[in-house]
């Protein structure tokens, strides 16, 4: 993102009601639920954030964990 895009994102953020994002996990089924509310620029920024604390990194790590549990270690209930 360039300076102009960052400035636009900040203006959108400050001019509207605060954006919200909730990422929830059902621990038994390991099904994720994502709720995001905000301007289009906030949603785009949130979903495309590839930083260490971003959504993409979190879901990537969780997907690797799910694969490890399911395929590499077998089902835990067996």
pLDDT at position 42: 86
Cα angle 53-56-34, degrees, rounded to a multiple of 5: 95
pLDDT at position 69: 78
Which residue's entry shows tokens 């001019």? Answer: 15
pLDDT at position 3: 59
Alpha-carbon distances of 65 from 20, 23, 34, 61, 73, rounded to whole Å: 26, 17, 18, 6, 11
pLDDT at position 23: 92
Task: Average the pLDDT over 10-32 and give the result.
Answer: 82
Judged against a pLDDT cut of 70, whether residue 78 lies above it is answered with no
What is the Cα–Cα distance from 26 to 38, expressed in whole angstroms?
Answer: 24
Taking the model in full, what pTM does it have?
0.59
Number of Cβ within 10 Å of residue 54's Cβ equals 15
């Amino acid at each position: 993102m360039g300076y102009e895009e960052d400035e636009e994102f900040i203006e959108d953020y400050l001019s509207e009601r605060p954006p919200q994002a909730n990422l929830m996990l059902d621990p038994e089924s390991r099904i994720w639920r994502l709720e995001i509310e905000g301007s289009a620029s906030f949603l785009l920024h949130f979903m495309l954030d590839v930083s260490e604390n971003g959504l993409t990194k979190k879901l990537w790590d969780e997907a690797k964990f799910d694969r490890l549990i399911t395929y590499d270690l077998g089902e835990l209930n067996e």
